[in-house]
Amino acid sequence: MHVIIAGNSESEGQEAVRKIKEETLTGKVEFLYCDLASMKSIRQFVQQFRAKNCPLHVLVNNAGVMLVPERKTEDGFEEHFGLNYLGHFLLTNLLLDMLKQSGTHSHNARIITVSSATHYVGKLHLGDLQSRCSYSSHGAYAQSKLALVLFTYQLQHLLTANGSHVTANVVDPGVVNTELYKHVFWVVKMVKWMTAWLLFKTAEEGASTTIYAAVSPEVEGVGGCYLYNEERTKSAEVTYDEELQRRLWTESCKMVGISDESRRVP
């Protein structure tokens, strides 16, 4: 496989590349800079990727921030919604034609988006997606993860309607011991430090369902699923609201400045 790691830290990205090359010896892997909190950076990344003339068989949307204090991205979006959701929404849409060209009837291209069990308690405020009325870091994070599930289901609907050989699934990695928790309250950090070995998954364990969704023959041609512990499970009831899926998609297209293809699909 030819793996491209996209991230907003050159040093961490190159270190990951070095480790993978060291462990696999035959692996073809490289790093490309992409800051998902910047629409300009996402577009530049897509240009760089297109210039390589590579096929795109698997796209994993995995970046995120959690419980950050109220602040905005360079485009003026609330950071959880702007980075966790809109960044992935734009990136996926800009790469969609390449995914469609790369997928075949027997080997579909795959889009895997990482959400969280937090989406179960999330509420989508279509009239205030930027959490301007009353900001809660927990509420904003949960809303961004809920939006990712709604986005995945609507995306799969559009892909199916167009007869594309591309599938879209959403993954819940579980509670994983990563740097994602750096903005939580100090008491929570202390509890995490004391219990991580017992209650938290390692990064490798947390990645297992994403890898399953990316390469397993069991999900070949299967899309529109919420996967947890390498099994299909039910997401929050609200995520199956097709009208809400459509409205979020349309609003998201306006926010990132792309055409709304869903209007052409019955």
Sign of the torsion angle spanned by Cα atoms 176, 178, 184, 189: positive
pTM of the predicted model, to two decimals? 0.89
Amino acid identity of residue 58, one-letter, is V
Please tell me the predicted confidence (pLDDT) of residue 27. 75
Residue holding tokens 């970046």? 63
Nearest partner of 246 among 264, 222, 225, judged by Cα:
264
Distance CA 221, CA 188 (A): 41
Using one digit for the tens of pLDDT, what is the confidence trace for 189-202?
444 444 444 455 57
Pick from 147, 142, 168: nearest CA to 222: 168
Query: Annotated catalytic sites, by residue?
Result: 141
Distance CA 6, CA 29 (A): 11
Identity at 221, one-letter amino acid code: G
pLDDT tens digits for the chain (266 residues)? Answer: 899 999 999 999 999 999 999 998 877 999 999 999 999 999 999 999 999 999 999 999 998 888 788 999 999 999 999 999 999 999 999 999 999 999 999 999 999 999 999 999 999 999 999 888 888 888 999 999 999 999 999 999 999 999 999 999 999 986 644 554 444 444 444 444 444 444 555 767 778 899 999 999 999 999 999 999 999 999 999 999 999 999 999 999 999 999 997 766 65
- Domain-by-domain residue ranges, the chain? 56-264
CB 75 within 8 A of CB 38: yes
- CA neighbor of 195 nearest in space, from 181, 216, 213: 181
Residue 111 is classified by DSSP as E
DSSP codes, 32-101: EE--TT-HHHHHHHHHHHHHTT----EEEE-----SPPS-B-TTS-BHIIIIIIIIHHHHHHHHHHHHHH
Per CATH, is 56-264 categorized as 3.40.50.720?
Answer: yes
Measured distance CA(216)–CA(108) in Å, rounded: 12
Tokens encoding 181? 């928790």
Q: Of the candidates 112, 116, 171, which has an alpha carbon nearest to the alpha carbon of residue 142?
A: 116
**Which residue from 81, 117, 111 is spatially nearest to 201, judged by alpha carbons?**
117
pLDDT in tens, 40-70: 999 999 999 999 999 999 999 998 888 788 9
Residue of 60, 80, 41 whose CA lies nearest to 183: 80
